[in-house]
A and B are shown apart, each in its own frame.
Chain A
């Protein structure tokens, strides 16, 4: 880089910092035409009545301004319990965890969300590292804009220290590139990576995703993971989990917004169905599907003018989510090559929520897990058992 190039970068940073206009400098990591092709491919799946054919995979549910706005509305809906409780209790849970994060951390946030949680994290990290660099990563540029504005609002972070990255982080090759970018920007300084709001649960291969994301962490880095949890796994609780999502109309509008945005279907929110099941010994799984209940075969058109058959009773999987068994969290973390530094749990403190549902916030570090305490080492048990 020549001196004039350096001057240009400096001028750009000053222009962003000194302007009252809300500039945001976004690094776009992928060709959006490829993303559209992938979405089209996902919607070309064979007919299935249970959501195993056509689908809108995780990142696409938030892709575009329509889904982004619908999602912001859903987050404000008091009936969308997971999100409401997650936002309400995050301050308390973060307060219990943050003491374990040292000085000089930068922040890389996967799936920036509404930005409320990132703001709390940034306020804490910025006190300990005035030169903090904030990299929100999301597939949706609209989500990046929405979340980043809230996250940096009145935090005192200068504009050029915020580097939103538009990237599908579920693709392994993208993460390799992101790793290089982050390490080049921060050098050997530590990074706090975060995946909050139960985002992990939205992916088919969630264990693989977590392993890929945590692989970015070096020995000096930390990883903050937030997941929805359940104390037990059974069919009744799976039904309760379904009920939790199904009662929110704003949530139904959000999950169908990707269809509305990317197809010419006339959406009937009552055709949204929620299917709950127990996923082995690790989670309650909720599939949200849109079923053709018109009684006729339909042809739907995608943004690239491709026409796709949507036969009667066929389904499109709109969304996937889970509530992880609390007992399964340690094996999941271990399988990702991480160890738990600390963690906090918060129950859903509302009467309409099933007993045992809550949110867990885990602070993870790379490396071998600390062996589980032997019965003799468990002081609490020794003191309180008969």
Chain B
């Protein structure tokens, strides 16, 4: 409530000052109009400057968030293309690397993305976040069951299920393809 009152007071005072400046310019004799003109323009620059600074800040925040997400997606791509998730890789017991989602979480929670302009991207990132959480949970279950089973056959069965055509994992790869196509390539490292 206080924030709204202060905002209303600030913009009200600026608007009144602007109106007085314009009136002063109108009623002043022709030779004495320099001072009200300068005063009115300074007030106008003050009002528009507030919005310009806000927009620039939001744009920078959005750019940083998208760069972080692109880097995170590239890192996830490396993980999925690595030996651990290769169909021809080792079929024995192993601890799998996990997919990461911290940049996506941060972007979604900070409001760096615009709900109007980035509506489709936000929807995609929500789906990606759910998929990553699900795949990591499934990997945990897989490791637990494989390591507690005395039979190596179990590890082979999980390997086959993980790489089957109908595996949840294939859907995750497709979603990552879609996300990377939407976001474009990762930013160059400086």
Binding site for B on A (CB under 8 A): 96-97, 99-100, 342-345, 347, 378-381, 383-386
Closest 3 CB pairs of A and B: A380-B161, A384-B161, A96-B152
> Which residues of B (133-176) have their CB < 8 Å from a CB of A?
138, 141-142, 145, 150-154, 156-158, 160-162, 164, 166-169, 171
A344 near B152 (CB under 8 angstroms)? yes
B151 to chain A, nearest CB (A): 6
B161 near A381 (CB under 8 angstroms)? yes
B residues near A383, Cβ cutoff 8 Å = 138, 141-142, 145, 158, 161
- Asked whether any CB of chain A lies closer than 8 Å to the CB of B88, the reply is yes
A347 near B152 (CB under 8 angstroms)? no
- Asked whether any CB of chain A lies closer than 8 Å to the CB of B91, the reply is yes
- Asked whether any CB of chain A lies closer than 8 Å to the CB of B92, the reply is yes
B138 near A342 (CB under 8 angstroms)? no
A385 contact from B145, B157, B167, Cβ within 8 A: B167
A384 near B152 (CB under 8 angstroms)? no
B8 to chain A, nearest CB (A): 53
Residue of A nearest to B146 (CB): A380
Q: How far is the CA of A7 from the CA of B176 in the complex (A)?
A: 78
A residues near B160, Cβ cutoff 8 Å = 380
B168 near A385 (CB under 8 angstroms)? yes
Residue of A nearest to B149 (CB): A379
A89 to chain B, nearest CB (A): 12
A342 contact from B141, B145, B152, Cβ within 8 A: B152
A384 near B157 (CB under 8 angstroms)? no
A384 near B164 (CB under 8 angstroms)? yes
Q: How far is the CA of A380 from the CA of B156 in the complex (A)?
A: 10
A residues near B168, Cβ cutoff 8 Å = 384-386
Q: Which of B145, B153, B164 counts the most A-chain CB atoms under 10 A from its CB?
A: B153
B residues near A100, Cβ cutoff 8 Å = 151
B162 to chain A, nearest CB (A): 5
Q: Which of A99, A343, A380, A381 counts the most B-chain CB atoms under 10 A from its CB?
A: A380
Known: A385-B167, A385-B168. A343 touches B153 (CB 8 A): yes
A311 to chain B, nearest CB (A): 49
A residues near B88, Cβ cutoff 8 Å = 347
Residue of B nearest to A99 (CB): B150
Q: How far is the CA of A386 from the CA of B169 in the complex (A)?
A: 9
B residues near A96, Cβ cutoff 8 Å = 92, 152
A385 near B91 (CB under 8 angstroms)? no
A380 contact from B151, B158, B169, Cβ within 8 A: B158
Q: How far is the CA of A96 from the CA of B156 in the complex (A)?
A: 11
B145 near A379 (CB under 8 angstroms)? yes
Q: A342-B153, A380-B162, A383-B145 are in contact. List 14 more A-B contacts (CB 8 A).
A: A96-B92, A99-B150, A344-B156, A347-B88, A378-B161, A380-B142, A380-B145, A380-B161, A384-B168, A384-B169, A385-B161, A385-B168, A386-B167, A386-B171
Known: A347-B88, A379-B145. A384 touches B153 (CB 8 A): no
B residues near A384, Cβ cutoff 8 Å = 138, 142, 158, 161-162, 164, 167-169
Residue of B nearest to A385 (CB): B166
A342 near B157 (CB under 8 angstroms)? no
Q: How far is the CA of A345 from the CA of B156 in the complex (A)?
A: 9
List 24 A-B residue pairs with CB atoms under 8 Å apart, sorted by A's residue number.
A96-B92, A342-B152, A342-B153, A343-B153, A344-B156, A347-B88, A378-B161, A379-B145, A380-B145, A380-B157, A380-B158, A380-B160, A380-B161, A380-B162, A381-B164, A383-B142, A383-B145, A383-B161, A384-B142, A384-B161, A384-B167, A384-B168, A384-B169, A385-B166
A residues near B169, Cβ cutoff 8 Å = 384
A residues near B91, Cβ cutoff 8 Å = 345
A351 to chain B, nearest CB (A): 12
Q: How far is the CA of A193 from the CA of B151 in the complex (A)?
A: 21
B151 near A342 (CB under 8 angstroms)? yes
B173 to chain A, nearest CB (A): 13
B143 to chain A, nearest CB (A): 11
Residue of A nearest to B159 (CB): A380
> Which residues of B (47-90) have their CB < 8 Å from a CB of A?
88
B102 to chain A, nearest CB (A): 25
B residues near A378, Cβ cutoff 8 Å = 157, 161
B residues near A385, Cβ cutoff 8 Å = 161, 164, 166-168
Q: How far is the CA of A386 from the CA of B158 in the complex (A)?
A: 14
Q: How far is the CA of A381 from the CA of B160 in the complex (A)?
A: 9
A386 near B150 (CB under 8 angstroms)? no
Q: How far is the CA of A344 from the CA of B152 in the complex (A)?
A: 8
B residues near A345, Cβ cutoff 8 Å = 91, 156
B171 to chain A, nearest CB (A): 6
A residues near B164, Cβ cutoff 8 Å = 381, 384-385
A361 to chain B, nearest CB (A): 11
Q: How far is the CA of A379 from the CA of B164 in the complex (A)?
A: 14
